[in-house]
Structure 1
Amino acid sequence: MKQPVPPADAPPTPPNPASGPAAAPAGGPRARAGANKFPVVALCGSAGSLEAFEEFFGALPERSGLAFVVVTHLGPTPYSQLPQVLQNFTPLPVVEATDGLRVRPNHVYVIPPDADLSLLHGCLFLLRPTQPPGHRLPINFFLESLAKDAGPWAACIIFSGLGADGSAGLKAVMENFGMVVAQDPATAAFDAMPRAALATEFVDFALAPAQMPTELLAYAARLQASGGPGPRLPLTTAAAAAQPAHALQKIFVLIRQRTGHDFSFYKRNTMFRRIERRMNAHQIKEFADYVRYLQHNPAEVEQLFRELLIGVTKFFRDPAAFQSLQAHLQPLVLAKEPRSTVRVWAPGCSTGEEVYSLAMLLLECLDAVGHSRGLKLQLFATDIAPDAIDFARAGRYPATIAADVPPERLARFFNLEDGHYQIRKEVRDTVVFALHDVNKDAPFTKLDLLCCRNLLIYLSAELQRNLLPVFHYALRPGGILFLGPSENLTGFQDLFQPLDGKWKISRRLETTALPTRLLNFPFSLSPRPPAAAHPATMPSAAAAARPGGPFAALVQKNLLTAYTPPAVVITPKGEILYVNGRTGKYLEPAPGVGTLNLFEMARDELRVELSGAVHQALQTQKDVTVARARVATATGPQLVRLSVRHLEGPEALAGLLLVAFEDQPTPRRGRRAKGEGPDEGPAAAASRDAAAALDQELQYTKRRLQTTVEEMESSLEELKSANEELQSANEELQSTNEEAMTNKEEMQSLNEELMTLNMQYLAKTEEFSQTASDMKNLLDATEIAIIFLDNNLTIKRFTPHVRDIINLLPSDVGRPLAHFASNLRYEHLLRDAQQVLDRLTSVEANIQTTGGAWYTMRILPYRSIDNYINGAVLTFTDVTALKQLEAQLQETARFADSLQEAVPQPSVVLDAQLCVRLANNAFAEAFGLVAADVRGQPLAALSGGAWNQPALRAQLAQLLDLAHPHDQFDGLALTANFAGLGPRRVVLYGRRLLRQGQPTGQVLLGVEVPSPPA
């Protein structure tokens, strides 16, 4: 899912809304101080935030009861003017934070320069920054400590600023049920920080600074009225207290209908507090109203679903935990067989930071053991949030992760692109991302490492008990389980051996109890065993496990309703489950190995009667009574009435029998012999003789019965032996059935894994298809002819415009380029391509076709993403228009030169530095110069400096000055001493040269040389 990934310290446990008033939320001593609780508001900003602070404090009442901590980006200067500036905005006391300063309401505290600020037990503490100035994130640092210390009494506001500082810290505030506000980007001078905060989708309000105090005060009022966040219930009736619980179930139903995911196994208190945040955002006070709101707004169901799956995670979270994990992974990787695969599963991966951290860790382990063994990595990262999976699969993270990832790992595993860090391909290729719900989908199996950190603490105890055997089943023998610091293995010590108690790293243990637990896996498709087996087939081991606790109470209750004599409760096989009263007169321990079987413990005189009565009761399914059974006692024979009754009532007693022993009055003989009566008469003697005869007949019958009993015992032994064989066969069948079920679960897990891989491949196929489409459209739009060749100069791909140069068809892909003739007036195309492959240097040339078109040809090595040379790329850019323009310009220049030469009057063209660009022959002849030599020379240097005249320079400067309105001058007379010619008088005129009505930065200087007087 984006299965919830909470911070390392578990969030405070909220009160049960259905059970009465809430307890105070967890936090520091200040948060537990009862009436002293008050919200602490972090005001976070950077560039452009001062104006926002002024508007915020201007709308804030003087006695709000809130404490404010201002955290901004300050340079490493020894002194800050920010407290004095803020003091001008508010009447509240504004002070700079110092170590141990206790936070009090109606005060403003400002972070000092070059320091990281934290909050512990309501006091501020300063830390020296460990990151360089360009990588520091003081806002994230403070918000994380604020969230842990103040819990639901924390609030943060993200004001104007550059970068994304604060977007990670606000998640911690939201995770601990605090309030999150961002400045409306439309009102921010720099909207980067507010937009980064809003992109997390965990912002309660996006407001202008002047509107924020109203929402803060309303939130504080709700906290003070209820003692903390969370829905408050009336305590009038039990029905009223149960209403939110019913509403919660309805919300779960709506979420399941919309998303297919069931949150009923998550801890209810946490769910209540997350839902209450959404209710506050919409100003909804009653749960029933929010249920109706969800019914009419499916988008709110989606938003609630995302908010229930808060992904507060980061790279190498708890660095000490990852160091410990690496120490335990190293020998595990070293023990792997060569060319085998290290398999890892990270359920609840959120946005992927943790699974990529594992991938980097394992790649370092592979480096340590050496790559010669050919070990491979395969990491499965799953979640129920599609948006989180897409984000993680892209592997593109903001630059703020530099605070969490060491520089050496940044350099090796990341590429910096456009202000973001991109996970390198070698890391992304080891991870497979997929949608997966641990509550209902089969697990990945044969794992060496299973990392499930801070997910179990959000699940109910019942679901945790189901998942831990699943994790044991998914791991290989000796595999490692990596949990969060707030999670434990209570009740499952027989499945895992702790390796690091602090960071919850454990090793899988072998156990014989697991196959039975497989039946209770949440993903199992096999039917669950029935609650009560048929009486004739109930296994003795299961029956023997019943006594104790509620079972004994049920038996006693059943006995008290109908019996008071000694009795025993047995299974159909005679195993004694419960004994009531003194039964020593009727039962005695059997010789040999101890047993609790009624038929073996019964005294000899009762064994036949008991066996027959129980057998008859089972056959007829009716109660049976033996009226005059006899048992020998120390005082003589005793008549006993045996009763066998089927127990009725609760399911736990189904199929059991109750055997009761009741003593009956027994006639005594020998009263006369003891002098206890008168002498016998004839009738008495006759009666005695008849009794003796009857006694002899009874003895004979008993001997016959004894023989019959012995025969029956022999048959019973045979039946018992056969039963033992049948039971052994049954156990083997059960073992085979369990193995089949295990294989079925493994096949289901493999099927789940194949489906996951298929989803990954489909996603990559879509990505590659989109990339190919983008590339095709890009190449078509550029109208550049491109040919892709492999290392053998065989055509791999080409664009349609190549056909203007080489007549290629789609079927020509795979054929050598040498097989085709081009219409280029160039014979060294193949030679240049081979040279590029041999020397890995580019070749560029301008080439003309036989049709007169011109192309700029470039041949470059084809480099893969991994910087391998896989051929060459030939590009042909059409420059025919440029060539034609170049020819036109050359023709124009030649025409201008000829026109200049045709003018008989001396003239010269000067550039902006008054250097000669062009001088005609008339000018050269008039002043004894060579036209070709004067080009590029300063005008002031010609003719021995005769042209270096201040008046001339001033006129030319005005022509070159674009701000000057005049673009010409005429009749400038000068007299100068020209070298080789002597003193001469010249008359000059100047013109500003234009192109398409715009100045060119050049001027034309014309010279008139008056004829000397006659």
Structure 2
Amino acid sequence: MAETTTRNHDEDTTAAPVVPTQTMDETSATIDPTEPAGLLPAPATPMPADTADATEEMSTGGPRPDGAAPPAFPIVGIGASAGGLAAFETFFSAIPRDVETGMAFVLVQHLAPDHKSILTELVKRYTRMRVQEVQDGMQVEPDCAYIIPPSHDMALLNGTLRLLEPTAPRGLRLPIDFFFRSLAQDQHERAICVVLSGTGSDGTLGARAIKGEGGLVIAQAPATAAYDGMPRSLIASGQADYVLPPAEMPAHLIAYAARAYAKPAGPVAPSAEPGTNSLAKICVLLRDRIHHDFSEYKETTLLRRIERRMALHRIDRHEDYVGYLRRDPTELDALFGDLLIGVTGFFRDPEAFAALEHEAIPDLFARKTPDAAIRIWVCGCSTGEEAYSIAILLCERMDILKQNFKVQIFATDIDPRAIERARTGLYPASIAADVPAARLARFFSEDEQGGYRIRKTVRDLLVFSEQNLVQDPPFSKMDLISCRNLLIYLNAGLQARLITLFHTALNPDGVLFLGTSETTGELPTLFTPLNRKWKIYTRQERPRGTLLRTGMPGDWLPARLQTRRAPNEPPTSPDPQQGKLDLRALTEQALLRHCAAAGILVNGRGDILHIYGRTGMYLEPAAGDAAMNILAMARDGLQRDLTTALHRAVTHREPVRRPGVRVKTNGDFQSIDLTVRPETGLGEGSLLSDVYLVVIEAAKPAAAPTTTAPTARGTGNADDENPRIAELEIELRAKEEYLQSTLEEMETSNEELKSTNEEMQSVNEEIQSTNEELETSKEELQSVNEELATVNAELQTKVADLSRANNDMNNLLAGTGVATLFVDHQLRITRFTPTATRLIKLIQSDVGRPVGDIVSNLVDYTDLTEDLRAVLSDLMLREHEVQTRQGGWFLMRMGPYRTLENVIEGAVITFVDISDRKRSEDEVRAAGVFAEAIVDAVREPMLVLDGDLRVFSANRAFYRHFRLEEADTRHRHLFALSHGRWDIPALRDLLRTIQTRGGSFEDFALEQDFPEIGPRSLRLNARRIDSGADRPGMILLALEDVTTAPPPPRGRRAD
């Protein structure tokens, strides 16, 4: 297990994206019998309540405010820029119309701030889902689509969309990243993001946040994108789970959601839990390929990440996934990437950094002099945000003190790609949300790539290096160690070992800075809380000469030299009561066994653990920072032999003896015998399980020879050879000194080369700084270009719609034959139809001219201009029947021209040809005159009654016979004439009957005393006259006077 469980993935990684497209049917796999089955440890001792309760919260971004529950459905964020409109159309058209997806879709596109977007109307055409533009506070619902409005940033909080005024400059806005980050924080593993066509890299960092929370990331296949910048950036970052054309995305989304989210949120039933054997096999496969052991990773997080990968590949059983891993080792790399949970940022938990700034950092400087170094170790630094945050706090403190201190910040991580990005110090513009404006301006500079680059004054304080926190040697003599949000992903046993390691690496009163959900666990005696809420601790000093058992493998040796625990061996639990060892007693016991005059107990790196006897003749303090390291303290003549002997003892685990080593003491050389021996029996299972005893004793005098040794010349004895041997030894030492001098000169040259390289880097940074303004302008222009491309795509769609509508209208007007003329407020002609030229002499060049200046073809109508002004004034319709010089008749209608927004923008004049109607009216009028002439020629009285039985007309015989006036008779009710003498019920019934049913009646006898003519006997004949299907029929009523006496003369009533 390594510290990158808390890191973010690199943005610039070149790992190939995972594009799973195959459904696994049966992938039964077997594991070799030799492979360990019980790799996963039993559930570890739980962490303290304040840590354990928050563990899962931290792994998913923290608890929700006010206890609000997340929506029980996934939310899909879709980001696009230039060329995104076509991708939206394809994406939504591919969603089956008869399927409820159960997902909400939120569309974020780069929009021009001063342009009204029509994206909502366009998307509605392609889907049956409810599509609406977002308003602040809108609750997200499944099977709905939401569109971001222009000139806003958008965030998601507890399933509610919030609109924010953008704070970043127009060219540096990243609305897609902004929304994706909030989506990840709010929805965690239910967050899904899709990156479609667009230029630049907006969406990549937000996708990394979603991937870190266990969500799904999809990128559009670059070949199908109009602009492939955004999809390519996401693919290059290694975050994409699928790379697909938009038409294939909905099917994969629906299939993934069916497996990943269709599971109960509560505890899984025991029968449904994956077997420990499957998890153990997965961990073995990871260890064999990645060389990292995940057996001490928290099982719940491990399962969640594994099941996410299973859903991507549509695999239902853990055993099948094991088989898939064995057949496709690249999936192991992808799983490893998923297990490296990425959650980081500048000044993450601002209140925690404020507590560090005010409560811990001042004491660090108070204990140091300006020439002393302040050493800080940031474990699991990921891409460097938190390490740079601490460096900024130190710079601000030095400014307050107005003193410069030597600051060394060692930032380590297991991922070389993350370390490389941290070294560049380049971060996206979205960090402006985390870094206050004053700090942003002071410690960062705008980069040509559109983000911010850490300034050199801060960068020079940090050293980034690749390190496995568990396996590699730790740093020592630290004043501050920051290890935030790493321990929560490890089980309790490994947590305790790391806490003990931090205690060993810290100076007395050193500070340990943990995450908000972490504590020192079951080792509270090692640290005292400085700020309990924000988990800042101060190191407690142990009694001198004691060391705690940690269960760490080896003694911080290189990984290849450590004694690894067997895969099925449970981790050693720390036991403080058994872990204290008396180093003095152990050293004395070892020396007694070897009868040594002086002895030094060291670890594999040469750090001195205990000294026995007088060693001043062999060791002396080294210049510079104080360091209790035997290799640094060895006197001239001893260092080389001691280094090689210790290295051989560590490497081969065997005693090494170097007799006759000459050590320079008090200006003269003294011969000693050097022995380095591994002492493996001093404390099994503790930090002393691998230590080394260095024994230094005076060289023993050479024994007198008993035989004569042959010489090269075959003559002489041993006494003759001794001077020669001494001479050769002197010559050898001279050569060794020359070699040492040469090595020192080479080291000096290397230092000079390093200095030259740093100067070149400084020059390069200055050149880059010179290009910043140009690159910033380029980025702004690129952003404006993207917005223009988006607007252009919308306008092209709108132009197509308008063209289609214009064609429809032209064909409609041409088909109806209605002459139409459009004028504006100034009565200037704006448009006319071809048929209008028959009435008003118009040509195409007349558009824009006042309508009153055009010669009309109308007869006796000169009020066109006045009528149009009246229409624009009172907005009332006006009609006139007008005649052309050729004799044609037209109904001219004038009315206001209204837009869709009900705005009056002129007037419209239509001419409907009514020539046929006018001819018909003339014919009807002539026929009526002709009929009236015939009726008037008849001698008997006759009446024509309308549908209400009123007198429509009467002939002259009727008026003459009954002595009535036409003005008093026409349009009056029949039954009201002659003072009601015609109001006879039987007659009324007969007339109503023939009016409704048709037909006629004859010889209806009527005797009545009429006031004007006296008593008369009449015979009535009636017949209905049908005038058309839509008009009530009329009745022709003929009267015959059968009275014997003639009526009295006019003016005299008969008796």
**TM-score normalised to the size of structure 1?**
0.49
Higher relative contact order (CA 8 A, sep 6+): 2
Q: TM-score, normalised by structure 2?
A: 0.47
